[in-house]
Amino acid sequence: MPDRRGQDRRRAPRRAEDRQARIQELAAFGFAICGGLVIVYIFFALIGAVDPLQAVVASVVALVLALVWLVGYWQRRRATAGRAVAPGARERRGF
């Protein structure tokens, strides 16, 4: 009886599109984490738990994370510029 099993697809290399999509997802996740940490820092600074002038290292780290988030936001806006949804392309429910 011949062996009917083919090549194991789980061991095949990923397609370039899959790899690119995974990298974009991980980058978006990283940018979101940076933005969230900046929001947490701002929250603690507003309630007075952190004095930005005394916690210089934390302030610089928060500033760098804010810049990283802004770069990610700028790239996302630039990549999706001009991709408006056509008026008839949206599905209407309940009308």
Residue 41 lies in a domain: yes
Whether 62 maps to a domain, the answer reads yes
Q: Name the residue range of residue 32's domain.
A: 18-79
48 lies in some domain: yes
Phi, psi of 2 (to 5 degrees): -75, 155
Give domain status of residue 28, yes or no.
yes
Domain count for the chain:
1
Q: For 52-78, how does the pLDDT look when each residue is reduced to its tens digit (9 = 90+)? A: 899 999 999 999 999 999 999 998 888
In a domain, 94, yes or no: no
CA pair distance 63, 77, nearest whole angstrom: 21
Question: Over the stretch 18-33, which tens digit does the pLDDT of each residue have?
Answer: 888 899 899 999 999 9
Residue 44 lies in a domain: yes
Q: Are 31 and 65 in contact (CB under 8 A)?
A: no
Instruction: Look up the pTM and report it.
Output: 0.65
Q: Is residue 6 part of a domain?
A: no
